[in-house]
């Protein structure tokens, strides 16, 4: 590998990808070298279908052919795009279909597909391709197939006690020091009792580890996820230019023209992000009745054009993807009339953006009850409130932004005042 200046960037928020871009380049180069030694491999059926689609759709074929030649060489740390064609991209995707993420302190590659597409998706052709509905249809098929592998017993090979790469090794346990006390598991069983990588990823807290703050006070709103505050925005417009640098929220597009859109115009949005080591289930911020709950299919690897070729692009696009990415919407009519109708939005982000809703329309839920979960992926969420709701936020001494730390799920994040 050519000698390059070491680049440390804050963009790998949430620990999904290394903060040192050279580590990411080395990981990708090793994978490329491994495949080079093996030679061209037969493709998994879902990857073969993706290839056939690319080559038989003239527009998509042009975009996928161009995106790997449009990488900005001046800002690419390696000096050259390491993934040189869509054919190589497909071979790399094929390779990870039977791999689960290994633990690596400061070098976790939790989003390998994001790493493969890191630079090409910021090109003009990549920007266009990853907004294409047909492309996202095939990406969803690829991600769902990988999710099936991660939900199988074959994916438990990383749930070992290797000191550096095992999720129950010395490094991982030092970074998750209260794991056994916090989560339902049994260290005496193989893989601590987890039956798959996904089973580990969607692990549950033991009773009492995340109590509901002020359970009997309907004015207190609790954190829906184990997450760090990213942004608070007020006076949200029905339609806005969400693709510009400031990434304003655009309710009409976030809520996919749901009949409730007008209810939230001029209201407030609270957005927060989840990290790789976080708990990934969602919980209701209020008590009330589920008025509506469904998943919207969307994008997986689209990032803001304003962030193109910026290594921080994926994370700095968190506002932008609320209008475009695959996401779950759960509308809750709070028992507290000072809150009334509100919306919880879970936003899929990159790998396996599976949003599973576990509540149903008409169900009455208590504050803190489970709403659903992310299956390996999904790293941001929003709470959306009507303009009549007066909110005093409690961010536990933090300012919203990419440097924020997790507020525990079910902790107070806001209080409603009359």
238 and 262 in contact (C-beta within 8 Å)? yes
What is the per-residue pLDDT for 110? 62
* Residue 294 shares a structural domain with residue 354: yes
Q: Bridge-partner residues for 222, per DSSP?
A: 412
Q: At what angle do helices 21-38 and 86-96 cross, to 10 degrees?
A: 90
Say if 336 falls within a structural domain: yes
Rounded to two decimals, the pTM is 0.87
Q: Residue 98 falls within a domain, yes or no?
A: yes
Residues 229 and 179 in one domain: no
Domain check: are 87 and 178 in the same one?
no
Give dist(CA 128, CA 302) in Å, integer.
9
8 belongs to a structural domain? no
Tell whether 194 and 261 lie within a shared domain.
Answer: no
The answer to the question of residue 276 being in a domain is yes
3-state secondary structure labels for all residues of 13-80? HHHCCCCEHHHHHHHHHHHHHHHHHHCCCCCCHHHHHHHHHHHHCHHHHHHHHHCCCCCCCCCCCCCC
Q: Do the domain assignments include residue 302?
A: yes
Say if 307 falls within a structural domain.
yes
- Domain extent, residue 295, equals 220-417
| Chosen domain end from 109, 134, 150 | 150
Last residue of a domain, one of 111, 132, 150: 150
**Which DSSP string do the residues of 228-242 spell out, in sequence order?**
EEEEEEES-BSS--T
Asked whether residue 324 falls in the same domain as residue 255, the answer is yes
Q: Do 357 and 283 share a structural domain?
A: yes
pLDDT score, position 345:
96
Tell me: do 131 and 162 sit in the same domain: no
Same domain, 146 and 160: no
In a domain, 58, yes or no: yes
User: Residue-wise pLDDT tens for the chain (418 aa)?
Assistant: 233 333 333 334 444 454 456 666 777 788 888 888 888 889 999 999 999 999 999 999 999 999 988 876 545 545 555 788 999 999 999 999 999 988 887 666 667 887 788 778 888 999 899 999 999 999 999 988 998 999 999 999 999 999 998 999 999 999 888 999 999 999 999 999 999 999 998 999 999 999 999 999 999 999 999 999 999 999 999 977 655 555 788 899 999 999 999 999 999 999 998 877 778 999 999 999 999 999 999 888 887 766 554 444 455 677 778 888 889 999 999 999 999 999 999 998 776 568 999 999 999 999 999 999 988 765 789 999 999 999 999 999 999 887 889 999 999 999 999 8
The total domain count for the chain is 3
285: helix, strand or coil: coil
Do 195 and 344 lie in one domain? The reply is no
Residue 219 has phi, psi (to 5 degrees) of: -85, -15
Task: Tell me what pLDDT residue 220 has.
Answer: 98
**By three-state DSSP, how is residue 208 classified?**
coil
Q: Are residues 384 and 249 in the same domain?
A: yes
pLDDT reported for residue 363: 98
Residue 209 lies in a domain: no
Whether 276 and 401 share a structural domain: yes
| DSSP assigned state of 347 | E
Give the separation between CA 64 and CA 68, rounded to whole angstroms: 7
Say whether both 382 and 275 belong to one domain.
yes
Say which CATH number the domain at 366 has: 2.70.70.10
């Amino acid at each position: 590998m050519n000698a390059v200046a070491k680049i440390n960037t804050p963009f790998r928020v949430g620990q999904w990808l290394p903060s040192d871009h050279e580590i990411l380049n080395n990981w990708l180069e090793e994978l490329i070298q491994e495949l080079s030694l093996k030679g061209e491999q037969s493709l998994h059926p879902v990857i073969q279908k993706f290839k056939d689609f690319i080559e038989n759709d003239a527009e998509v074929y042009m975009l996928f052919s161009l995106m790997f030649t449009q990488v900005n060489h001046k800002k690419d740390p390696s000096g050259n795009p390491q993934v040189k064609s869509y054919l190589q991209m497909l071979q790399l995707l094929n390779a990870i279909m039977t791999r689960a993420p290994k633990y690596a302190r400061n070098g976790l590659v939790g989003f390998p597909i994001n790493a493969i597409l890191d630079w090409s998706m910021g090109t003009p052709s990549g920007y266009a391709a990853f907004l294409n509905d047909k492309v996202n249809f095939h990406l969803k098929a690829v991600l769902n197939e990988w999710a099936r592998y991660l939900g199988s017993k074959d994916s438990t090979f990383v749930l070992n006690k290797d000191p550096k790469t095992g999720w129950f090794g010395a490094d991982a346990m030092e970074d998750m020091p209260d794991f056994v006390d916090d989560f339902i598991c049994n260290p005496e069983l193989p893989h601590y009792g987890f039956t798959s990588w996904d089973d580990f990823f969607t692990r549950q807290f033991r009773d009492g580890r995340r109590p509901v703050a002020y359970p009997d006070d309907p004015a207190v709103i609790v954190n829906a996820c184990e997450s760090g505050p990213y942004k608070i925005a007020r006076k949200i417009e029905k339609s806005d230019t969400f693709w510009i640098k400031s990434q304003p929220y655009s309710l009409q597009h976030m809520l996919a023209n749901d009949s409730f859109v007008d209810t939230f115009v001029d209201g407030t949005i609270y957005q927060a992000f989840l990290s790789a080591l976080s708990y990934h289930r969602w919980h209701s911020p209020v008590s009330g009745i589920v008025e509506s709950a469904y998943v919207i299919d969307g994008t997986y690897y689209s990032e803001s054009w304003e962030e193109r070729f910026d290594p921080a692009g994926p994370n700095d696009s968190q506002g932008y993807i609320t209008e475009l990415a695959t996401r779950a919407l759960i509308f809750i009519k709070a028992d507290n009339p000072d809150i009334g109708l509100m919306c919880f939005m879970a936003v899929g982000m990159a790998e396996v953006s599976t949003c599973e809703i576990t509540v149903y329309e008409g169900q009455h839920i208590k504050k803190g009850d489970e709403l659903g979960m992310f299956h390996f992926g999904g790293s941001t969420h929003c709470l959306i409130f009507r303009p009549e709701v007066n909110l005093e936020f409690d961010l536990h001494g933090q300012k919203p932004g990419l440097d924020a730390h997790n507020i525990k799920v079910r902790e107070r994040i806001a209080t409603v005042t009359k």
